[in-house]
Amino acid sequence: MRAIPKHFDLFGQRITVIINDNLHSEQDCLGKWRPHSNEIHLQAPSDEFAQDVILQTFWHEATHAILDLLAYPEWSENERFVEQIGQAVFQVLKTKRG
């Protein structure tokens, strides 16, 4: 899957990204940040869930990870804020040139 890493390091922590074909059907979501195991779980792209939707979801979940590891739980719990930051990062990366 293009642009989604298998893992990355953040503030001295290794974050593992796990792609799951059944996440949506099992947990009714496209992504989940699991802070106790430092894992981001993502629904695999499919005919139902386009690549861009999953990339946006990755950046949403990565925003949760950043905020939690910076010890800002009140911001991480604010889904509107997390979604806006995740969308902004996705747009910057998708439209960057040069």
Taking only the tens place, the pLDDT of each residue in 69-85 is 999 999 999 999 999 99
- Cα–Cα distance for residue pair 92/20, rounded to 1 Å: 26
Residue 32 lies in a domain: yes
Q: Which helix (H) or strand (E) segment is 52 a member of? A: helix 51-69
Pairing of strands 13-20, 39-43: parallel
Supply the range of the domain harboring residue 91: 7-95
2: confidence class by pLDDT, cuts 50, 70, 90: low
Residue 20 sits in a domain whose CATH number is 1.10.10
Backbone angles phi, psi at 83, to 5 degrees: -65, -40
Q: What is the mean pLDDT of the chain?
A: 95
Helix (H, G, I), strand (E, B) or coil at 22: coil
pTM, rounded to two decimals: 0.94
Residue 31 lies in a domain: yes
Those residues whose C-beta lies under 8 Å from the C-beta of residue 45, and which sit 6 or more positions away, are 1, 51, 53, 54
Report the domain count for the chain: 1
Q: What percent of the chain has pLDDT over 70?
A: 98
Residue 1 lies in a domain: no
